[in-house]
Amino acid sequence: MNTAQPPQPTARALTGCSLAGLLLLLPTVVVAWIAVLATERGSRCLTYGEQCSSVPGGTLWACFWAAAALGVLALAWPRARWAPARAAAVALQWGVQLTLGALILSGA
Residues 79, 11 contacting (CB under 8 angstroms) = yes
- Residue 31's domain comprises 12-106
pLDDT at 69: 96
pLDDT per residue over 6-42, tens digit each? 555 588 888 899 999 999 999 999 999 999 989 998 8
Domain count within the chain: 1
pLDDT at position 47 over 60: yes
Please tell me the distance from the alpha carbon of residue 76 to that of residue 13, in angstroms, as a whole number: 14
Q: Quick check: is 6 in a domain? A: no
Please tell me the least confidently modeled range out of 2-6, 75-79, 87-91: 2-6
Q: Quick check: is 51 in a domain? A: yes
Residues 103, 27 contacting (CB under 8 angstroms) = no
